[in-house]
Structure 1
Amino acid sequence: MAETTDRTSSNAGTSYRNETGEKGTTLKGRRGADTPPGLRGDTTVADKVVSTIAGMAAREIPEVHNLGGGMARAFGAVRERVPGGSGDITRGVGVEVGERQAAVDLDIVVEYGASILDTAGDVRANVIRAVESMTGLEVVEVNIAVHDVHLPDEAEESEQGGRRVA
């Protein structure tokens, strides 16, 4: 495991960059015969993992139509149409992962008619729950930027290969 290029040590965790340059954090386990087996050793969580969890958790909220700003969504739609291409689950998601904590930034598109305030609260709660339960990191903040409102007639035009790209 070649993760030595950007390593700073502490007794709680270690930030690292792996051989491909991806950032992440290593959660330090405990050692010794008196330690339960599930807590012995270290666990490494890449930033992309936190981004993926946050993106999936945000999309679980029914009022969230999509993630990403206008240009990111447009490029994503083109990428999905290319043979072999797929949608990027982390589009519209930014994370900062420290040794024990994480911060998440989300760019979302909300369905027309939904309460933006309630939707943001639901997204925030779901992202915090998912990231904390799956990684053990404390989520200190989830910042949400609403970039657009999805109108019902936009879905029909983009599904039919029309002029709009959602």
Structure 2
Amino acid sequence: MADTKTGNRFESPGQGSRTASRDGAGESRRPKVEPASRGRTTISDGVVEKIAGLAARDVPGVHALGSGMARTFGAMRDRVPGGSSSAARGVSAEVGELQTALDLEIVVEYGVAITDLARSVRENVISAVERMAGLEVVEVNIAVSDVKLPDEQDEESEGSSGSGGRSRLQ
């Protein structure tokens, strides 16, 4: 379809009209759409889970995330070549278009006030998710699944404290 030329004005069917300036750039008469609103951004559950997991681990008094079984399997996966530790272990997220809800399962250090710790975890997780993902956090449910006693050995370090099939140098 050819453009019709009338003075300094160019028109293309179905494209609106443009007015040519001296430098050749045209100005559209259609309302301008902000570049940020051209398209859609989708954030997966896993991304929100990782953000929340890292934010929860940053709070002093949180020993680990996940139930004992999840931590045990995670520790084994960490030792497998090519396996990676999961920042989202112990975190479950349900993500909508504008909002998210989170469930966390944590292990606390012995001696920590659990209600104060839960409040701090909730605040840190909400702040991180809202800042990074731009989603409104409608709820953060926290389940305390265990207390890490001072004399308990970590499940994650039990396998590494023995010889583990490696010879020790003497």
- Report if TM-score (shorter chain) is over 0.5: yes
Give the share of equivalent positions with the same residue, in percent.
62
| Counterpart code for 1:96 | E
1:49-64 matches, within 5 Å, as 49-64=47-62
Asked if 1 retains the 8 angstrom alpha-carbon contact of 2:42 and 2:97, the reply is no
2:109 to 108, 111, 119: 111
Distance in 2 between the 1:139 and 1:161 partners? 43
| Counterpart code for 1:33 | K
1:100 to 98, 101, 106: 98
Equivalence for 1:14: none
1:134 to 129, 132, 136: 132
Q: How many residues are matched?
A: 130
Is there any run of 5+ residues in structure 2 with no aligned partner, and where? 1-30, 164-170
1:161–1:142: structure 2 CA closer, same or farther, 3 Å change rule?
farther
1:67 to 65, 68, 78: 65
2:146 to 140, 145, 148: 148
**Is 1:160–2:161 an aligned residue pair?**
yes
Distance in 1 between the 2:125 and 2:89 partners? 15
Give how far 1:90 is off: 0.8
CA-to-partner distance for each residue in 1:120-139, whole Å, 9 max, x for gaps? 00000000000011111100
Equivalence for 1:89: 87
CA RMSD of aligned residues (A): 1.9
Distance in 2 between the 1:114 and 1:39 partners? 46
Distance in 1 between the 2:68 and 2:140 partners? 20
Give how far 1:80 is off: 1.4
1:80–1:126: structure 2 CA closer, same or farther, 3 Å change rule?
same
Give the TM-score of the pair, scaled to structure 2: 0.70
Distance in 1 between the 2:77 and 2:86 partners? 9
Which of the pair has more CA radius of gyration? 2
Distance in 2 between the 1:87 and 1:152 partners? 24
